[in-house]
Amino acid sequence: MNTALAAEQECVPDVFVWSAKYETGIEIVDTQHHGLVDLINRIGTVHREAAPVSVLEQVLDELAAYARDHFATEHRLMHEAGLDQAYVSDHVATHGSFVKQLGLMRGFLQNSPQALLPGLLRYLITWLAEHILVEDQAMAWQVRSVADGMSAEAAKAWASGRANPGHDALVEAMHRMYAELAQRNVEIERTNARLLEREHQLERARRELATFNAGLGQRVAQRTAEVYEAQLRLQQEYDAQRSLAKQLDRTRRELEARAAGSLSDEFIDGMAKELDEIEQQVAGSTSEMRDPERALASIGRLRDAIATVRSFG
């Protein structure tokens, strides 16, 4: 760390400056109050320097230990002094509320430490104003008054009307802290705005990619279905054409066979009948023919031809 930076950090004022006006007159209580102020200032430093989460965890653990010891001390003092029971109950309830809020903030630390710090500081400063500088001052006054012989009820009534001498100092510390927090919040808001815009861009890109992928899947599925349907349709048409071609071929052969058979039977039977008649005529008039043997030979050849045709049928 260079000298200029170290000097600058040393000049940074505490968020709450301890002074004698905050003392209650009870030494152990004032010592513990001083410890609380120191813890508040340490948390302010953690916030200002953006220290690691582990550092903030350590400070919060110390704050929890402080709360346990300090509250136990105050409870013992009030009971030993014999203060008004209703007042004591209210005071103890205030302690319980503080412990509860501190536990909640400690739990939030793991998820959003930067968001926790401003709220933690505001709560501690407010609690310091309402509890230490008002209620603990009133408690200390009642302890002294009861010890001097005043009744607990009268001491409670009298203490509730006393003014808080540390109010102006508290307001000054709060103004200083809020000015610093305001500047830090501006920086955080700008960073968050950039991060949010980046997240929106990424989300839009994710949605566009998802839409494209969904559309691509639908288009691929649709095209696949179309190709499958076309293949199925072509196969069906091919099978139908083959079946029709086979049927036509069978029909053609049957028709040819029937036509050939019908033609052969009728034609050949007719020719055989005519040959019989011619042969009878030739046999009956051989004396009148020039060459009856030649005619009979021709008739024989015709009969052979008819027999051959019949064998094909």
Stretch among 73-82, 102-111, 253-262 having the lowest mean pLDDT? 253-262
Q: Mind listing the pLDDT tens digit for each residue in 274-283? A: 666 666 665 6
Question: Long-range contacts made by residues 67-70, C-beta under 8 angstroms, separation at least 24?
Answer: 67/95, 67/98, 67/99, 67/102, 69/32, 70/29, 70/32, 70/33, 70/35, 70/36
Domain boundaries, the chain: 9-165
Place of tokens 């998802």: 210
- Distance of alpha carbon 273 from alpha carbon 262, whole angstroms: 17
Q: Which CATH number applies to 9-165?
A: 1.20.120.50
Packing angle between helix 85-108 and helix 113-127, nearest 10 degrees?
Answer: 160
Q: Mind listing the pLDDT tens digit for each residue in 12-65? A: 567 777 878 788 999 999 999 988 889 888 888 887 887 888 888 888 888 888
| Whole-number pLDDT of residue 230 | 83
